[in-house]
Structure 1
Amino acid sequence: MQLIPVLDLKGGQVVRAQQGRRDRYQPIVTPLAGSADPVRVAEGLRGLHPFSIFYVADLDAIEGRGSNASAIARLSEMPGRPQLLVDAGYCDGEALARALAVPGLHPVLGSESQKDETLLKRFRDHPNLVLSLDFFADGFRGPRALLESPEFWPQRLIVMTLAKVGSATGPNLSTLAAIQAKAGNRSVIAAGGVRNEADLSQLSSLGIAAALVATSLHDGTLTPAQIAAFAR
C-alpha cells in the first residue's frame, strides 16, 4: 500500500488541518522542519522516507481566495521531481485541461468544487485525473451523481473524510469499504484519520491502494521502519 504525505497550503505555507474547519488552520509546527515553508516541510518528510509522491491541497484556490501556484511549482522542482496530486478547486474545463498537460502533475477533481458531473464525464479517461469524493461532518459534499455513478469514476479516487482529518480517531472504514466494493479494479485512496500501523493494516486488508497521511508522520506515531514496511 502506498503512503502519500499531505501538504495543505494556505497563504504560501503548510498548515495543520483540523477536521475540515479550514478557518482554524494554522501554519504547521513540526519537528521535521524549521518553518512551514512547503519545500522545507516536504524535505523534512523525505527525511523519514524517500517519498516520490505528495498530495497537495491548495486551500486558497479551493475557497476562491487566490492561489498557491508558486509554492506548487517550487515543490515540483524539488530533486527527484515528485509527482504531485493537486486539488486546486478545479471547476473549469480549460483550467483542468491545462493542469492535466503539466508533467508530473495529477489534478484532483474535488467533488465539493463541482456543480455537476460535466467535468468528470469529459476527463474521466485521462490517466492523470484523480477524483476526490469529499465527505464533511454533514455528509457527502458535491453532486450526488459523482458518488452514486461508479461508471463515471477515473482509475484513481480519493475517499476524503474531512471530519476525520487531524482527529486521531481512525479512518472511516465503513465508507471506504462501501466505495471499495463499487470501485472494481480502480485504486481507492483513503484520506483522513490514519493514526498508526494498525490503521494501515486495516486499510490494506480492505484492498485500499494508498493512504494520505500527515499528523502521524509529523508526530512520530509512524516510524521510518513502519513507513518503509508499507510505502512503495
Structure 2
Amino acid sequence: MQVIPVLDLLDGHVVRAVRGERTAYRPIESRLCAASEPLAIARALLAASGARTLYIADLGAILQRGAHVSTLAALRAALPGIDLWLDAGFADYASMREMFERIEAVDRHDGQTVDHAAPTPLATLVPVFGTESLRDIHALHSAQAAGLAPILSLDHRAGQLLAAAELDRSSAWWPSRVIAMTLDQVGSYAGPDLATFERIRARAAAQTTVIGAGGIRHRADLSAAIDTGATAWLVASALHDRQIGAAPAGHA
C-alpha cells in the first residue's frame, strides 16, 4: 500500500493536525526534522515514506486566513517529479484556477534567467476538492476537462459528511480518485476509520480509487487498511514520530 505523506500549512509553518481542531494546531515537532520549515519537512516526509506524492492542506486558505502562495510555489520548484495534491478550500473551479494561476505566476517570475536556459522542472499540482468547502460539483468536471486529474475529498466528522446542502449525495459525479477523510481520526492515534472507508468504497464505481486518510498509528494499522482493499492512505503523525516508514516490499 502506498503511504502518502501529509503537509499541513498554517501561518507559515508546518503544523501538527489533531482531530481537525484547526485553531489549536501548533508548529510541528518532528523526529524527522528539527524545524517546522515547509521545504525541509516536505523533503523529510518524502524520504521517510519513499513516496512520490505529497498531500498539502493549505489551512490558511481553508480558514480564509491567507493562502501560502509563495510557499507552495517554492515547494513546486524544489520538488520536481513529485505530485503535489493541494487542498486549499476550493469552493468551485474558478477559485481553484485563481489559486493555481497565482502559484504559477510566482514560479514563472522566480524561474526567469538572463541566459534563457531551459526552465527548471516543477512538481505537478493536482487539485483536491473537499466537500467541506465545495459548493459546485461541476468544478471537478471543469478541472478534468482542463487536464488536471482532480481528486474529491469526502470530509467526515462524527460519522457525518461535511458538505453543503446543495451537493449531490450520490456517487454519480465522483471523479476517478476519492479520499475517505475522517477529520476526527487525523493525528488522534485512535486508529483508522475503516468503517467509513469501506462504506465509501462500496458506493464507488468499480474504476474509482478510494484513498484512506487519518488515524494510522503503526504497521498493524496499515495491514488492516490493506485488508479492506485500500491501496493508499494519507499519513502524517506516524511518519513524524517514526512509527512507520515506507511501505514494506509487496505492499507498495
The secondary structure found in structure 2 opposite 1:131 is strand
Q: 1:192 — aligned with what?
A: 214
Q: CA RMSD in A?
A: 2.3
2: CA distance, partners of 1:168 / 1:214 = 11
Please give the residue correspondences for 1:27-66 in structure 2 after superposition, counting only pairs within 5 Å: 27-66=27-66
1: CA distance, partners of 2:100 / 2:67 = 17
1:139 aligns with 2:160: yes
Q: Which runs of 5+ in 2 are unaligned?
A: 105-122
* Partner deviation per Cα, 1:1-25 (whole Å, 9 max, x = no partner): 2110000000111000010100100
Q: 1:202 — aligned with what?
A: 224
* Partner deviation per Cα, 1:58-82 (whole Å, 9 max, x = no partner): 0010111110111111111224431
Please give the residue correspondences for 1:171-186 in structure 2 after superposition, counting only pairs within 5 Å: 171-183=192-204, 184-186=206-208
The secondary structure found in structure 1 opposite 2:85 is strand
Report how far residue 206 of structure 1 moved.
1.6
Please give the residue correspondences for 1:62-73 in structure 2 after superposition, counting only pairs within 5 Å: 62-73=62-73
Q: 2:171 — aligned with what?
A: 150
2: CA distance, partners of 1:154 / 1:116 = 14
The one-letter amino acid paired with 1:216 is A
Q: 2:119 — aligned with what?
A: none
Contact persistence 2:19–2:184 (CA under 8 A): yes
Bigger Cα displacement from structure 2, 91-100 vs 147-156: 91-100
After TM superposition, the score normalised by the length of structure 1 is: 0.89
The secondary structure found in structure 2 opposite 1:89 is coil
2:127 maps to which of 107, 116, 128: 107
After TM superposition, the score normalised by the length of structure 2 is: 0.83
With over 3 angstroms needed to count, the CA separation of the structure-2 counterparts of 1:115 and 1:79, relative to structure 1, is closer
Please give the residue correspondences for 1:214-229 in structure 2 after superposition, counting only pairs within 5 Å: 214-224=236-246, 227-229=247-249
The secondary structure found in structure 2 opposite 1:74 is helix
* Partner deviation per Cα, 1:135-166 (whole Å, 9 max, x = no partner): 12372110367573111000001111000001
Contact persistence 2:92–2:135 (CA under 8 A): no
1: CA distance, partners of 2:60 / 2:217 = 27
The secondary structure found in structure 2 opposite 1:220 is coil
1: CA distance, partners of 2:227 / 2:29 = 33
* Partner deviation per Cα, 1:82-121 (whole Å, 9 max, x = no partner): 1100001111322324567876111000101023434245
Report how far residue 185 of structure 1 moved.
1.7
Bigger Cα displacement from structure 2, 73-82 vs 163-172: 73-82
Q: 2:8 — aligned with what?
A: 8
The one-letter amino acid paired with 1:93 is Y
Contact persistence 1:35–1:41 (CA under 8 A): yes
Q: Which runs of 5+ in 1 are unaligned?
A: none
Answer 1 or 2: which has greater helix percent.
1
1: CA distance, partners of 2:144 / 2:26 = 34
Report how far residue 50 of structure 1 moved.
3.3
Identity of aligned residues (%): 39
Contact persistence 1:19–1:163 (CA under 8 A): yes
* Partner deviation per Cα, 1:159-210 (whole Å, 9 max, x = no partner): 1100000111111111110110111221111011011111111211222221
